[in-house]
């Protein structure tokens, strides 16, 4: 089987990074535009939550399905379909006449997004077969996330202030179209020799858990915790989770192999991913509304204020990757947990918002922590796993990231909505002063939640990265070996040119 030239491999990497760029930029740019959307579309805090969570919820629900479908029918084909849907969804979002339409079109974007990043990672790992070359390619891939974090607030602020919030979706159109054409021309097709069979029941149960839980959290402040609607959705989430735990172990090819959770590093990586990305989702949501609605900054100035956080993420992400490669994930996780906890404490206990110097210090600490945490998550998830199971383990870690961001926005937004509504209701007017007072009061418990997420990263990282944890990973890998052999560790089947094994991150 002929090997791709170095130039062709670099081109494939660039195309895959283009897909990551538009997905990552879309998330960071959108946060800056939230206050403008709120004013034009007359949206509540819950409405703003849905513009973010409708996307991350669908993405989290479909990531593993998209990866297994790509292994079965062809990675390039699914990747192209994802580009078409994401680009079309972006165009529709820019034309949305109301909040309901915007949320629906964000879900179209998410269906496309679920076919991009995990499938692109599979394409990369099948294109770069040498370990050192693959590590460099994944390092470049991770650097794109840092670039989007740094550039997103500035690009978003500039576009919102000069053209309007709808323009933030236009930047996806030329990049998506170019990536689609280049994929058709240069990316080779590949399939797995023994792809995992579809698990429609497991997929529906996952959607039931995530969808019902998110709806209950977001709508609880307005509907009431004891309302029949909220209780019904909470019950659906619990029953779906119970069904998932009972049904999946009985399948030969489960959507989620529950035996993975016997590995302490894998379980730890799942919890860390949820906590770290919940903190990120809540942090961005809270600060965007504070800077623009309370401090009265423009979208561009709000983006500039967030630059210290984004810059630290950009600088620390590759440093963390090298640290994980040389010393393992433990040190990166401890630094990440300590920095994120310290950042949350500055806001929760010392009112960092009131002092610009303290606020920037909190931003720097959070950027440091988040920059350090991303690299060890996937490394810890796949630690000790059989080679043929590493892709599935990484896919679960990716899903956990999206679940965390969904829950972070849902919980922080619900706390914020309940606090601001209560404060305004207790005063004689609904003036901006009442809103600001309510916002500041509600933000304190929200910051304590973010602090708790950082502390969880620190404690779970320390617990699941030592010798005992590595022993559980080794024992779990031995139990999984027969399944690994059945699932096929053989090289992937080329349709044009492909090599290596599938992985998802």
pLDDT tens track, the chain, 505 positions: 347 888 888 999 999 988 888 888 887 788 899 999 999 999 988 899 999 999 988 988 888 888 888 888 888 999 999 999 999 999 999 999 999 999 999 999 999 998 987 788 778 877 887 767 776 776 677 667 767 777 788 889 999 999 999 999 999 999 999 999 999 999 988 887 777 788 889 989 999 998 999 999 988 888 888 899 999 999 999 999 999 999 999 888 888 888 889 999 999 999 999 999 999 999 999 999 999 988 999 999 998 998 899 889 888 887 887 888 788 889 999 999 999 999 999 999 998 988 999 999 999 999 999 989 988 887 777 666 665 566 677 678 878 888 998 899 999 988 888 766 554 444 444 455 666 777 888 899 999 999 999 999 999 999 998 889 989 988 888 887 654 444 444 445 445 433 333 333 3
- Using a 10 angstrom Cβ sphere, with 0-12 exposed, 13-18 middle and 19 or more buried, the burial of residue 470 is middle
CA distance 392 to 121: 12
What pLDDT does 425 receive?
Answer: 41
Widest CA span in the chain: 76
Which residues fall within 8 angstroms of residue 305, CB to CB, at 6 or more apart? 291, 297, 359, 360, 363
Can you spell out the DSSP letters for 304-354?
Answer: HHTHHHHHHHHHHHHHHHHHHHHH-SHHHHHHHHHHHHHHHHHHHHH-GGG
- Reduce the DSSP state of residue 2 to 3 states and report it: coil
**Phi then psi dihedrals of residue 494, to 5 deg:** -80, 140
Can you spell out the DSSP letters for 222-265?
Answer: HH-TTSHHHHHHHHHHHHHHHHHHHHGGG-SS-SS-GGGGGSHH
- SS3 percent helix, strand, coil of the chain, rounded to 5, is 85, 0, 15
Contact (CB, 8 A) for 190 and 76: yes
What pLDDT does 438 receive?
Answer: 73
What pLDDT does 337 receive?
Answer: 97
Residue 29 is encoded by which pair of tokens?
A: 């740019």
Which residues fall within 8 angstroms of residue 426, CB to CB, at 6 or more apart? none
How many C-beta atoms lie closer than 10 Å to residue 479's C-beta?
12
CA atoms in the 13 A half-sphere facing the CB of 239 = 8
Residue 174 host element (H or E): helix 172-186
How many C-beta atoms lie closer than 10 Å to residue 426's C-beta?
10
What pLDDT does 478 receive?
Answer: 81
Q: From residue 121, how far is each of 85, 143, 223 by CA, in Å? A: 19, 14, 41
- Reduce the DSSP state of residue 190 to 3 states and report it: strand
- Using a 10 angstrom Cβ sphere, with 0-12 exposed, 13-18 middle and 19 or more buried, the burial of residue 473 is buried
Candidates 135, 66, 140; CA nearest to 399 is 66
Global confidence as pTM: 0.85
How long a stretch of residues is the chain? 505
CA distance 93 to 204: 26
Contact (CB, 8 A) for 18 and 147: no
Contact (CB, 8 A) for 106 and 51: yes
- Reduce the DSSP state of residue 191 to 3 states and report it: strand
What pLDDT does 192 receive?
Answer: 73
Contact (CB, 8 A) for 451 and 327: no
CA distance 61 to 209: 9
Residue 44 host element (H or E): none
């Amino acid at each position: 089987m002929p090997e791709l030239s170095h130039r062709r491999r670099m081109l494939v990497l660039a195309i895959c990074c283009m897909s990551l760029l538009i997905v990552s930029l879309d998330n960071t740019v959108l946060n800056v535009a939230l206050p403008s959307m709120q004013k034009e579309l007359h949206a509540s805090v819950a409405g703003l939550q849905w513009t973010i969570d409708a996307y991350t919820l669908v993405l989290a629900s479909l990531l593993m399905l998209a990866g297994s479908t790509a292994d079965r029918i062809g990675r390039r084909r699914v990747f192209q379909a994802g580009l078409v849907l994401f680009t079309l969804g972006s165009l529709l979002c820019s034309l949305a006449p109301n909040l309901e339409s915007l949320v629906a079109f964000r879900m179209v974007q998410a269906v496309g997004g679920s076919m991009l990043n995990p499938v692109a990672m599979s394409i990369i790992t099948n294109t770069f077969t040498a370990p050192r070359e693959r590590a460099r390619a994944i390092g470049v891939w991770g650097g794109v996330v840092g670039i989007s974090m740094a550039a997103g607030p500035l690009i978003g602020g500039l576009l919102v202030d000069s053209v309007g919030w709808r323009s933030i979706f236009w930047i996806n159109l030329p990049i998506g179209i170019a990536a689609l054409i280049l994929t058709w021309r240069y990316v080779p097709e590949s399939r797995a020799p023994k792809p995992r069979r579809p698990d429609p029941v497991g997929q529906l149960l996952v959607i039931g858990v995530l969808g019902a839980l998110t709806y209950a959290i977001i709508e609880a402040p307005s509907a009431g915790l004891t309302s029949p609607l909220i209780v019904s959705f909470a019950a659906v989430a619990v029953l779906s989770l119970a069904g998932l735990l009972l049904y999946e172990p009985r399948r030969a090819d489960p959507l989620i192999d529950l035996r993975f959770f016997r590995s302490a590093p894998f379980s730890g990586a799942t919890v860390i991913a949820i906590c770290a990305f919940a903190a990120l989702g809540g942090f961005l949501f809270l600060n965007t509304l504070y800077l623009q609605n309370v401090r009265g900054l423009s979208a561009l100035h709000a983006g500039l204020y967030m630059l210290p956080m984004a810059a630290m993420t950009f600088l620390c992400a590759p440093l963390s990757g090298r640290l994980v490669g040389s010393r393992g994930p433990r040190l990166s996780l401890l630094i990440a947990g300590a920095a994120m906890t310290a950042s949350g404490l500055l806001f929760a206990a010392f009112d960092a918002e009131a002092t610009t110097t303290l606020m920037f210090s909190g931003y720097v600490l959070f950027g440091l922590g988040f920059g350090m945490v991303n690299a060890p998550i996937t490394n810890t998830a796949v630690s000790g796993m059989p080679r043929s199971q590493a892709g599935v383990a990484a896919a679960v870690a990716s899903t956990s990231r999206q679940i965390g961001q969904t829950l972070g926005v849902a919980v922080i937004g619900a706390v914020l909505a309940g606090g601001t509504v209560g404060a305004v209701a207790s005063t004689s007017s609904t003036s901006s002063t009442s809103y600001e007072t309510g916002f500041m009061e509600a933000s304190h418990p929200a910051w304590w939640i973010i602090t708790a997420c950082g502390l969880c990263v620190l404690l779970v990282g320390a617990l699941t990265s030592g010798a005992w944890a590595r022993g559980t990973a080794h024992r779990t890998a031995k139990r999984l070996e027969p399944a690994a052999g059945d699932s096929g560790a053989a090289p992937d089947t080329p349709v044009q040119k492909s090599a290596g094994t599938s992985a998802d991150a």
